[in-house]
Amino acid sequence: MTKFEIRDLRADVLIGADERQEILKGVDLTINSGETHAIMGPNGSGKSTLAYAVAGHPKYEITGGDVLIDGESVLEMTVDERARAGLFLAMQYPVEVPGVSMSNFLRSAVTAVRGEAPKLRTFSKELQGSMSGLNIGSEFAARGVNEGFSGGEKKRHEILQLELLKPKLAILDETDSGLDVDALKVVSEGINRAKANSDVGIMLITHYTRILNYVTPDFVHVFAGGRVAESGGPELADVLEADGYERFAKAGASQ
Ligand code: ADP
Ligand code: MG
Ligand code: MG
């Protein structure tokens, strides 16, 4: 049982040498093992900033609050230490690493997180199994990390990493964006497999309700104006689908 807590988190985006802008204005969110929380909100509300701030991205500076895994703050941890503590953020990994094969990259990542190198044969089997489940051709194992990957292929590889790394808490930012219906189904099935095979807690950031037809959230949070503006069950997604974010966008703007 793991408890992931974001407490009154405040963060600035660092824009230039002495320019910054406060984006996160007191985010509160608790995710327990096995729970899926959808974070939904208008464009520009700070959803990706939340993901980057939790990841420890250098362009974002935490100015207040805390992020805890089982009561231990991750804010002083390096990106690698956060991964070892069980945090998974797809975009913490390099966008493109020419010359490093996917299989080598994934084995190193798994080694870093598990603290020991998996046996090559066992790992190859595991990798091939997950790849075929995600409709990723076996030739991808030898290709450079994300090198020349299409948007959809990158998204499938994010889920491949999720399946192999078996984190405690996964943050998936717009995993559904740019996917056609078939790819969306494959990616959703991968997320659901990860949920079924582990106790992973999931923060599923999305602008659209579409993916929630495949990955059922336990909780839905509306993110607006740099904070969680409203929380509810899956039915809140239906309200958003029908009414949009206008009400919340206004609430956020007035703060
Ligand atoms: P969302 O993911 O909800 O669409 P973002 O977190 O990407 O929102 O952006 C929130 C706000 O922060 C936006 O107004 C955006 O322009 C600003 N912002 C985010 N990152 C940067 C950056 N690197 N430089 C300048 N502004 C940024
Ligand atoms: Mg975003
Ligand atoms: Mg489960």
pLDDT in tens, 101-125: 999 999 998 998 888 999 999 999 9
Domain extent for 28: 3-253
Task: List the single range of 64-68, 87-91, 119-123, 179-183 with lowest mean pLDDT.
Answer: 87-91
CATH number for the domain spanning 157: value is 3.40.50.300
| ipTM of the modeled complex | 0.94
Regarding pTM above 0.90, the answer is yes
pLDDT band of residue 72 (cuts 50, 70, 90) is very high
DSSP assignment of 180-234, as one string? -HHHHHHHHHHHHHHHHHS--EEEEEESSSGGGGTS--SEEEEEETTEEEEEE-T
Predicted local confidence at residue 91, as pLDDT: 63
Predicted local confidence at residue 213, as pLDDT: 94
CA-CA-CA-CA torsion for 68, 73, 78, 81, nearest 10 degrees?
A: -70
User: Total structural domains in the chain?
Assistant: 1
Residues with CB under 6 A from ligand 1: 13, 15, 23, 41, 43-49, 59
Q: 28 and 37 in contact (C-beta within 8 Å)? A: no
pLDDT in tens, 29-57: 999 999 999 999 999 999 999 999 999 98
Q: How far is the CA of 39 from the centre of ligand 2 (A)?
A: 11
Predicted local confidence at residue 5, as pLDDT: 98
Q: How far is the CA of 197 from the centre of ligand 1 (A)?
A: 34
